[in-house]
Amino acid sequence: MAIKPGLGRKTSNKNPPILSHEFVIQNHADIISCVAMVFVVGLMNESTAAFASAFISLHHNVSGEDPSREQPYGKAYTYIAGIKDYCAIFFYTLTCIIMHAIIQEFVLDKISKKLHLSKFKLARFNESGQLVAFYLLSFVWGAHVLLKEGYLGQVAQLWEGFPDHPMSFLHKFYFVVQLAYYLHMLPELYFQKIKTKEEQQPKIVHSISGFTLIVLAYTLSFQRLALVLLTLHYFSELLSHVFQLIGVFDREERLAKLRVVNNAVFFLIRFATSVIGVLTLYYGIGGVRSLLALGGLIALQGYLVFSFITEQLRAKREAKKEAKREAKLALQTKKPAKTPKDKVKRKKESDLPEADQTSPSPIKQKLK
């Protein structure tokens, strides 16, 4: 019986050998779904429930009570960071790979087939489409936690009681999903068949840097500040990739006003991030650890601004080169226009008798 291709890849007439690279790539979502189901089924068995719950449930709670007669609604659990969180990160990394394949198969591939995009635009469309889904979810989730916990109304909560900052369920689960998403980018390089160094390097840097920075903030008790800064950052990135998607469908000339908005939001977010960082880490918390974190935060903002300006200048240079190339190609393909003298001469020759009209020489005819 032939194995049908599953999620996250294009169908092929030939079935690759089982356990070959092509087989794993074509069926990676189904394979990983089976692995994830092993942990879910493990919860149903009493002997394996404790082991499976380490990968699915959140641990290291410091307060909270289950519903009882005295408290029918119970008491909300609060959590801190711990070693068992990395088991949950592993499980939700598998979930991120599955969701990545679902979005690619049922949303992006169906849209791209109707658009008939070039190879370059198709790659940009797939990358920005995946990131827009992640940034939108992260921004809405982060904004919801900020409003629910009251961090926006009472900014002093960002540093009051530090480092004793227990997290609610949604707050902790937010960081687990963030770390899982950045970690899932690495195996996606293999599943998407990205082999060239030019394409791999920015994705690897994005994955490792994002995972490392969030892990540091999460384990060093800067979860509240990290939640605020990530929500702001994701709003800026969301606009940037939405405009990139618009650029796939529309002309670059019409995106000039949108790029101005994107640039303004980017620099505004960088400024707001620096102000909140100084207010929280320098004036609010203080200490050597906070000053080191503040130095790293300011350096990161400077690097992002430098990279943004460099990218904008590079894009302008490439746009000018492309415009010159297109203009040169248009001049080469354009046929020379016929002058009025040529038209009059041809008309006069057509009016003459056939014997008097110019004809090719006998030598040229023999050569032909």
pLDDT interval class at 287 (50, 70, 90): confident
Q: Are 45 and 29 in contact (CB under 8 A)?
A: no
Statement: residue 241 has pLDDT above 50 = yes
What share of the chain has pLDDT > 70, as a percent? 84
| Exposed/middle/buried for residue 125 (C-beta within 10 Å: 0-12, 13-18, 19+) | buried
**CA neighbor of 205 nearest in space, from 188, 226, 182:** 182
pLDDT interval class at 254 (50, 70, 90): low
Question: Looking at the chain, how many residues does it have?
Answer: 368
**Residue ranges of E strands in the chain:** 61-65, 75-79
Q: Which residue has better confidence, 317 or 2?
A: 317
> What pLDDT does 206 receive?
95
Positive or negative, the Cα torsion across 355, 361, 367, 368? negative
Peptide bond into 163 cis (omega under 30): yes
> What pLDDT does 2 receive?
44
Amino acid type, 304: L
Scored b (16 or more CB within 10 A) or e, 297-311 reads beebbeebeeebeee
User: What pLDDT digit, counting tens, does each position of 103-118 carry?
Assistant: 999 999 999 888 888 8
Distance CA 361, CA 219 (A): 92
> What pLDDT does 198 receive?
86
Neighbours of 39 (CB within 10 A): 19
Average pLDDT over residues 88-112: 95
> Which residues make Cβ contacts (< 8 Å) with residue 280, sequence separation at least 6?
158, 159, 225
54-58, 140-144, 315-319: least confidently modelled range: 315-319
26-35, 39-48, 333-342, 355-364: least confidently modelled range: 355-364
Statement: residue 365 has pLDDT above 60 = no
**CA neighbor of 268 nearest in space, from 244, 304, 222:** 304
Average pLDDT over residues 188-206: 90
Could you identify the residue written with the tokens 């599943």?
191
Scored b (16 or more CB within 10 A) or e, 175-207 reads bbbbbbbbbbbebbeebbeeeeeeeeeebeeeb
DSSP annotation of 368 reads: -
Q: Are 64 and 74 in contact (CB under 8 A)?
A: yes
> What pLDDT does 177 receive?
97
User: What pLDDT digit, counting tens, does each position of 144-177 carry?
Assistant: 999 999 898 889 999 999 989 999 999 999 999 9
Statement: residue 350 has pLDDT above 60 = no
Could you identify the residue written with the tokens 């009059």?
344
